[in-house]
Chain A
Amino acid sequence: MEAVKNALDFSDFPRLDLTVAGLVLAFLLVFPALPHSGFAMATMIQFLMFSLYGMGWNTIGGYAGQVDLGKAQYNGIGAYTTAVMMVRWDAPFWVSMPVGLLFSIMWSFIIGYPLFRLKGHYFAIATIATSLVLKDVFESWDFVGAARGLAIPIRANLPDFLYLQFRHDYYYYYILLALFLLGILYLNAFRHSRLGYQLRAIKDNEDVAKSLGIDAHWCKIKAYAVATAYVSVVGSFHACYNFNIEPEDVMSLDLSVLIAMMALLGGAGSLWGPIIGAAILVPLKSYLGDWLGAESGLTGLNLVIYGVIIMVIAGAQPRGVWGMVEAVRARRRGGHAAA
Chain B
Amino acid sequence: MNRNTSMVTLYIGLLGLVTLAFGLADILAWAGMIQSVSIGVLEIAGDDFFRWAWGGAVMVFGGLFMLGSLMSPGTMERSAKAILGAIMVWIIAGTDIFARLCESIPAGEEAPEFFNSVAGFIGGFAPPYSAAVLLLPFTLVIVYFLFNRKSDEA
Whether both chains belong to one complex is answered with: no
